[in-house]
């Protein structure tokens, strides 16, 4: 098996401040990797570099295109990269309003990605939107409502539907459960887990919630002060952490 | 007349606008930025169209100005007067006689010819503005041909109204490339945009010019199962009996009596001159005869 | 099936002054197909630690743990996950469940993960839940709300759903009543009979006598005890 994503030496600086430094890893098809670390440790910076939202200062992000070729998404042309973001990639934002069009109906939000790749049959688009709303447990009767009329958890589920409708191969998520209350989180996680399995998705999930990674991630990467301090199988990193910071992180959280 | 340079604008400005027009013609549907000048009329009164007309007119031209199809509205009259005064060109109300036609919100019913130029006044040139407020983002979307959003607008229409309710400024794709706002013409006029004449679009406040060369492909966006329809009121003109023209609905009295008449006043008048009579006109002439008897 | 050589393990407690605790040194273990080996030793001797290292849950300091040709010590996470999916089962002492998933699906999941058809997997899950005396009315509920004993039996059912060629059992009979204990012991015997290599921790001596072929006292691997 060849990796879906090869990340080599990614660094990003904000002036003198370091966003993230020398990050390396491979992600294989179907793998879910969690990124944990304290606030300001560079998780979002790294994710945004990987997803093409930020230009890294060094390094390569090699992605396996549908034809099997590995392409550096940092240096590819913007149209190509934006095409990837509409098709093979998905990005679930922490704040639903960053990932949704708040003045467009739920159906339109889900349908947009289909229309962006050329779907031109209203009935089919709508049918698919309704199907996806169902998969994220939003009733068909809400298809014409705007996200502003949805609860935080529903907005987040809508964002996921909107992202997954085009059958992406790689999903980036930045704190997908942040700001939601615990029972809503559990439901969302369960849903995500099911979708990831069912669709064979690869995913990179940034979170500071160890319960989230325990549940969703196969592998874990721990960041501190812009550096990766530890990586490994999720349960191994959580149950037998090697780095001082990881040990602190794990011991400070009850019952993960 | 001698107080002004020909057609009000100085030669340098006209050159700048002509360059924008030529670029627009070379890239059909692409919005070319230009440095819009102060005109002796407020924005929203066709300053974009007026500047394009000023840069287009030559002393030999005959100008027609219409506002929603009519030659006799205040707006049309004042623009016509403006050019009579500043350019000294002949003016006309007859579509066939005009070499340059400046229009707001209509395309004449009569087919235009290769030796004619149609100049549109455009309030908002950006068709993507409705859903994407960022100019940087919309420019990027145009340059990368990311037009899914345009269909989102149509999708929302159908979801809300059961049909594409957009009836003005209905978006089109030009030569399979740029999505363009045709200015607020009724969608009934959209198919006419594939015409023999040159079409120029001027947006004064937003400082954009775009253009369609003759016989350019202009396709109205739609869905396979909700195809575009160039709809109009299902009624013949009450004055001239025309069944193929775009109609204005006129409320006649407090009792709610109404009448449908061609929005293109020249078209209606010339049909009546040729002897065509609509229902209301016939009734009126009967009434007139009865009074006379 | 399971081949352990020169295995050592230390814990470094960075947040307690960096104290290094060596818990295992030069451990050796070999388990053949159809064989059940019991790990014995006093509390804290390292039985669970060894088992967790075999599962890849704890990181070895040195040595090798080859399970069905894969060295768990050096394998990539995805290789370990594949090993766990296909080859190596683990019945831990506690059930860790995903909220909201019905018991029947919790038990069937390991089968679905190796591509068994849903109905076949569910049938096998029903069969195991029935054998372990989980009342049928509970099958459609999430085990999160179950009693400790019920959760443990769900965990065992899940652990035995797929016919793993190698299995790790951490006190599978602890706190079970006689009937359920009997069921678990016969499940182990069935697994051995089909050729599974099993490593188990049993505080229940009678159970150990009945299903285990050999005992390994992990105390001999404790650093400083047996040199
Ligand atoms: N746009 C920016 N300009 C300057 N510095 C930035 C910018 N964005 C992030 N940083 C800095 O880069 C570092 C990493 O920030 P980042 O947002 O990646 O952290 P994070 O791990 O995602 O934190 P959190 O958990 O709070 O979201 C921090 O020191 C942050 O202050
Ligand atoms: N995650 C850990 N971090 C630090 N030390 C640990 C960890 N896990 C186990 N140990 C230590 O390793 C040693 C062996 O523990 P282990 O749990 O393997 O013993 P055991 O033989 O299973 O005992 P019991 O019979 O009580 O379950 C103990 O000293 C224990 O404190
Ligand atoms: Mg962040
Ligand atoms: Mg133990
Ligand atoms: Zn008429």
Looking at ligand 2, which residue's alpha carbon is closest to its atom 16? Answer: C46
Q: Which residues contact C74 (CB under 8 A, 6 or more apart)?
A: C64
d(CA C160, CA C148): 19
**Which is the catalytic residue, given B29, B46, B48, B69?**
B29
Does residue B227 have a pLDDT over 60?
A: yes
pLDDT reported for residue C26: 92
pLDDT reported for residue B292: 65
pLDDT reported for residue A215: 83
Concerning whether B44 is annotated as a catalytic residue, the answer is no
Mean model confidence pLDDT for chain C: 93
Q: Full-prediction pTM beyond 0.80?
A: yes
User: C30-55 in b/e burial notation, b at 16+ Cβ within 10 A?
Assistant: ebeeebbbbbbbeeebbbbbbbbbbb
pLDDT reported for residue B104: 94
Does residue C227 have a pLDDT over 60?
A: no
pLDDT (tens digit per residue) in C57-99: 999 999 999 999 999 999 999 999 999 999 999 998 888 877 7
* Of residues C15, C77, C98, nearest to A190 (C-beta): C98
Average pLDDT over residues A65-69: 93
For residue C147, report the distance from its CA to the centre of ligand 5, in Å.
85
Chain C partners within 8 Å of A189 (Cβ): 98-99
Looking at ligand 1, which residue's alpha carbon is closest to its atom 24? Answer: A39
Cβ–ligand 2 distance for C27 under 6 Å, the answer no
Mean model confidence pLDDT for chain A: 91
d(CA A42, CA A72): 21
d(CA B146, CA A85): 12
Average pLDDT over residues C137-160: 92
Cβ–ligand 1 distance for A39 under 6 Å, the answer yes
Nearest to B76 by CA among B30, B131, B121: B121
- pLDDT confidence of C226, banded at 50, 70, 90? very low
Highest mean pLDDT, choosing among A55-59, A182-186, B36-40: A55-59
pLDDT reported for residue A54: 95
d(CA B99, CA B61): 6
Cβ–ligand 2 distance for C15 under 6 Å, the answer no
For residue C59, report the distance from its CA to the centre of ligand 2, in Å.
13
Cβ–ligand 1 distance for A48 under 6 Å, the answer no
> Phi then psi for C94, rounded to 5 degrees?
-130, 145
Nearest to B126 by CA among B23, B30, B18, B200: B30
Q: Pseudo-torsion of CA C162, C164, C169, C174, nearest 10°?
A: 30
Among A10, A11, A14, the mutation site with the greatest number of ligand 1 atoms within 8 A of its Cβ is: A14
User: Ligand 2 atom closest to Cα of C41?
Assistant: 21
* Percent of the residues in chain A that have a pLDDT greater than 90, as a whole number: 72
C8 in contact with chain A, both atoms CB, cutoff 8 A: no
* Of residues A103, A112, A122, nearest to B148 (C-beta): A112
**Which is the catalytic residue, given B202, B204, B262, B278?**
B262
Average pLDDT over residues B112-138: 93
Q: Which chains touch A (3 or more CB pairs under 8 A)?
A: B, C
Q: Pseudo-torsion of CA A224, A229, A234, A237, nearest 10°?
A: -110
Does residue C152 have a pLDDT over 70?
A: yes
Chain A partners within 8 Å of B171 (Cβ): none
Measured CA angle at A191 (ends C107, A198), to 5 deg = 70
pLDDT (tens digit per residue) in A116-150: 989 999 999 999 999 999 988 899 999 999 999 99
Concerning whether B262 is annotated as a catalytic residue, the answer is yes
Does residue A209 have a pLDDT over 90?
A: no
Q: Which chains touch C (3 or more CB pairs under 8 A)?
A: A
A204: left (phi over 0), alpha (psi -120 to 50) or beta: beta
pLDDT (tens digit per residue) in C173-191: 988 899 999 999 999 999 9
- A112 to B171, B239, B287, C56, C167: CA distances (angstroms): 17, 46, 58, 44, 49
- pLDDT confidence of B3, banded at 50, 70, 90? low
The whole-angstrom distance between B178's CA and the closest CA on chain A is: 15
Average pLDDT over residues A164-183: 86
pLDDT (tens digit per residue) in A8-42: 999 999 999 999 999 999 999 989 999 999 889 99
Q: Are A107 and A128 in contact (CB under 8 A)?
A: no
């Amino acid at each position: 098996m060849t990796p879906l994503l090869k990340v080599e030496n990614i660094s990003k600086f904000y002036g003198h401040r370091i966003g993230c430094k020398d990050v390396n890893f491979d992600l294989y098809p179907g793998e879910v990797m969690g990124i944990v670390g304290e606030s300001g440790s560079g998780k979002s910076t790294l994710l945004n570099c990987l997803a093409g939202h930020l230009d890294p200062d060094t390094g390569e992000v090699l992605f396996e295109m549908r034809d099997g070729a590995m392409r550096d998404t940092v240096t590819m042309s913007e149209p190509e990269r934006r095409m990837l973001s509409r098709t093979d990639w998905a990005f679930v934002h922490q704040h639903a309003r960053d990932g949704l069009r708040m003045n467009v109906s739920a159906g339109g939000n889900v349908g947009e990605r289909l229309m962006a790749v050329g779907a031109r049959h209203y009935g089919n688009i709508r049918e698919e939107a309704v199907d996806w709303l169902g998969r994220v447990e939003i009733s068909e009767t809400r298809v014409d409502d705007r996200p502003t009329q949805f609860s935080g958890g529903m907005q987040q589920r809508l964002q996921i539907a909107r992202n997954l409708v085009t059958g992406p191969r790689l999903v980036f998520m930045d704190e997908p459960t942040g700001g939601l209350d615990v029972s809503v989180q559990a439901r969302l996680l369960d849903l995500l887990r099911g979708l990831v399995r069912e669709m064979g998705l690869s995913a990179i999930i940034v979170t500071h919630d160890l319960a989230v990674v325990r549940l969703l991630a196969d592998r874990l990467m721990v960041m501190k002060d812009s550096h990766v301090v530890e990586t490994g199988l999720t349960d191994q990193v959580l149950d037998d952490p090697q780095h001082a910071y990881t040990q602190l992180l794990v011991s400070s959280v009850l019952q993960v | 007349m001698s107080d002004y340079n020909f057609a009000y604008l100085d030669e340098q400005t006209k050159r700048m606008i002509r360059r924008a027009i030529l670029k627009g013609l070379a890239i059909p549907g692409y919005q070319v930025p230009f440095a819009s000048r102060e005109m002796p009329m407020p924005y929203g009164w066709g300053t974009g169209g007026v500047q394009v007309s000023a840069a287009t007119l030559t002393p030999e031209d005959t100008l027609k100005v219409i506002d929603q199809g009519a030659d006799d509205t205040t707006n049309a009259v004042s623009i016509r007067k403006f050019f009579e005064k500043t350019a000294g060109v002949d003016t006309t109300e007859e579509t066939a006689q005009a070499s340059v036609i400046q229009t707001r919100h209509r395309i004449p019913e009569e087919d235009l010819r290769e030796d004619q130029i149609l100049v549109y006044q455009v309030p908002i040139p950006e068709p993507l503005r409705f859903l994407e407020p960022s100019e940087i983002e919309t420019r990027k979307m145009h340059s990368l041909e990311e037009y899914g959003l345009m269909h989102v607008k149509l999708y929302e229409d159908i979801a809300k109204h059961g049909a594409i309710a957009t009836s003005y400024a209905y978006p089109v794709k030009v030569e399979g490339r740029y999505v363009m706002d045709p200015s607020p013409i009724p969608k009934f006029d959209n198919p006419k945009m594939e015409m023999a004449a040159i079409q120029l679009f001027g947006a004064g406040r937003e400082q954009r010019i775009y253009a369609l060369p003759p016989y350019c492909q202009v396709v109205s966006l739609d869905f396979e199962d909700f195809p575009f329809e160039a709809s109009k009121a299902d009624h013949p003109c009450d004055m001239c009996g025309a069944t193929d023209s775009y109609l204005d609905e006129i409320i006649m009295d407090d009792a709610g009596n109404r009448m449908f008449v061609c929005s293109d006043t020249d078209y209606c008048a010339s049909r009546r001159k040729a002897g065509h009579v609509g229902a209301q006109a016939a009734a009126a002439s009967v009434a007139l005869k009865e009074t006379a008897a | 099936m399971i081949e352990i050589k020169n295995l050592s393990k230390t814990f470094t407690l960075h947040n307690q002054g960096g104290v290094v605790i060596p818990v295992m040194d030069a451990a050796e273990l070999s388990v053949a197909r159809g064989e059940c080996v019991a790990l014995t030793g006093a509390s804290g001797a390292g039985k669970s630690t060894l088992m967790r290292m075999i599962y890849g849950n704890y990181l070895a300091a040195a040595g090798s743990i080859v399970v069905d040709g894969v060295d768990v010590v050096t394998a990539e996470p995805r290789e370990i996950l594949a090993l766990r999916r296909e080859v190596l089962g683990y019945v831990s002492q506690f059930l860790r469940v995903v909220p909201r998933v019905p018991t029947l699906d919790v038990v069937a999941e390991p089968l679905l993960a190796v591509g068994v058809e849903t109905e076949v997997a569910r049938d096998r899950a029903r069969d195991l839940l029935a054998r372990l005396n989980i009342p049928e009315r509970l099958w459609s509920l999430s085990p999160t709300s179950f009693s400790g004993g019920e959760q443990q039996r769900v965990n065992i059912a899940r652990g035995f759903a797929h016919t793993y060629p190698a299995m790790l059992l951490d006190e599978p009979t602890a706190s079970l009543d006689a009937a359920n204990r009997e069921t678990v012991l016969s499940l182990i015997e069935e697994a051995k009979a089909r050729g599974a290599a099993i490593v188990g921790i049993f505080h229940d001596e009678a159970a150990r006598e009945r299903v285990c072929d050999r005992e390994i006292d992990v105390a001999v691997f404790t650093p400083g005890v047996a040199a």
